[in-house]
């Protein structure tokens, strides 16, 4: 009887084991399902966030276009073309000359009247600048840029403005002397905004 009773009591533990196994599997399925759902939600939100971050990054990376030079429609710049200049250059080895035609860009239309009134002094100052140049100095792009600045200052002086020479000219005069750092002063506004060459021939 004791053996039969033991045999009869054996199946219930197996049933309990199956119940535990089913519970464990169900819990695992729930955990996996919940984890998968959470992962799906997170992954779905992440690309949207990345798109937002990427857009923000693009906005930061792309520099905003610099505003173009503003021209006041009420006060447009005025241009004053000058008669051509023909001058012998400072070359010593051979006779060279330059034919240069210049257009002055002025700060306003009123300055155009001053240019007309002071034209003899303006032409004299520009001729003096050109006469001290050699053909080698005028043929290079840097030489033309430097000449434009010199004509701008010479013309402004003819109109009665006090104009200082740039620092690099002063440094060139010092030769081998050590260069002293000078505080740069703000350049005064000149009536001649720019100098444009409409013809430039060196022969």
Q: Do 22 and 47 lie in a common domain?
A: yes
Q: What angle do CA 180, 183, 184 make, to 5 degrees?
A: 115
Q: Do 38 and 123 lie in a common domain?
A: no
pTM for the model stands at 0.56
Which tokens in the block code for residue 97? 């000359």
Residue 19 has pLDDT above 90, yes or no: no
Q: Do 39 and 105 lie in a common domain?
A: no
**pLDDT of the residue at 68:** 46
**pLDDT of the residue at 158:** 93
**pLDDT of the residue at 157:** 92
Q: Do 121 and 159 lie in a common domain?
A: yes
Q: What is the pLDDT of residues 153-182, one digit of tens each?
A: 999 999 998 888 776 544 444 455 555 555
Residue 171 resides in a domain: no
Q: What Å distances lie between residue 99 and 59, 85, 153, CA to CA?
A: 51, 6, 20
CB 126 within 8 A of CB 85: yes
- Alpha carbon 74 to chain centroid, angstroms: 27
Residue 138 resides in a domain: yes
Average pLDDT over residues 74-101: 91
Q: Do 107 and 193 lie in a common domain?
A: yes
Q: Do 46 and 91 lie in a common domain?
A: no
CB environment 142-170: b (16+ within 10 A), e (fewer): ebeebbbebbbbbbbebbeeebeeeeeee
Beta-bridge partner residues of 104: 80, 195
Q: What is the pLDDT of residues 6-18, one digit of tens each?
A: 444 555 555 556 6
Q: Do 26 and 99 lie in a common domain?
A: no
Beta-bridge partner residues of 87: 98
Residue 5 resides in a domain: no
Q: Which domain holds residue 32?
A: 12-61
Q: What is the pLDDT of residues 111-145, one digit of tens each?
A: 899 999 999 999 999 999 999 999 999 999 999 99
Q: What is the pLDDT of residues 31-86, one digit of tens each?
A: 666 666 666 656 665 554 455 555 444 445 444 444 444 556 666 779 999 999 99
| Number of domain units in the chain | 2
- Determine the Cα–Cα distance for residues 146 and 144; give it in Å rounded to an integer: 5
End-to-end C-alpha distance for the chain, whole angstroms: 136
With H, G, I as helix, E, B as strand and everything else as coil, classify residue 178: coil
């Amino acid at each position: 009887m004791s053996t039969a009773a033991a045999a009869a009591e054996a199946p219930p533990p197996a049933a309990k084991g199956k119940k535990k196994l089913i519970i464990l599997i169900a819990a695992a399925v729930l955990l996996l399902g919940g984890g998968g759902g959470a992962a799906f939600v997170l992954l779905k939100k992440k690309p949207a966030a990345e798109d937002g971050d990427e857009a923000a990054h693009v906005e930061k990376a792309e520099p905003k276009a610099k505003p173009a030079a503003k021209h006041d429609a009420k006060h447009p710049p005025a241009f004053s073309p000058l008669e051509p200049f023909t001058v012998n250059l400072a070359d010593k080895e051979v006779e060279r000359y330059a034919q240069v035609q210049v257009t002055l860009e002025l700060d306003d239309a009123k300055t155009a009247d001053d240019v007309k009134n002071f034209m003899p002094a303006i032409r004299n100052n520009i001729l003096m600048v050109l006469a001290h140049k050699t053909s080698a100095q005028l043929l290079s792009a840097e030489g033309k840029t430097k000449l434009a600045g010199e004509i701008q200052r010479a013309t402004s002086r003819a109109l009665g403005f006090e104009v200082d020479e740039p620092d690099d000219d002063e440094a060139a005069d010092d030769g081998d002397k050590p260069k002293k750092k000078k505080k740069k002063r703000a350049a005064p506004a000149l009536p001649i905004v720019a100098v444009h060459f409409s013809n430039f021939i060196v022969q």
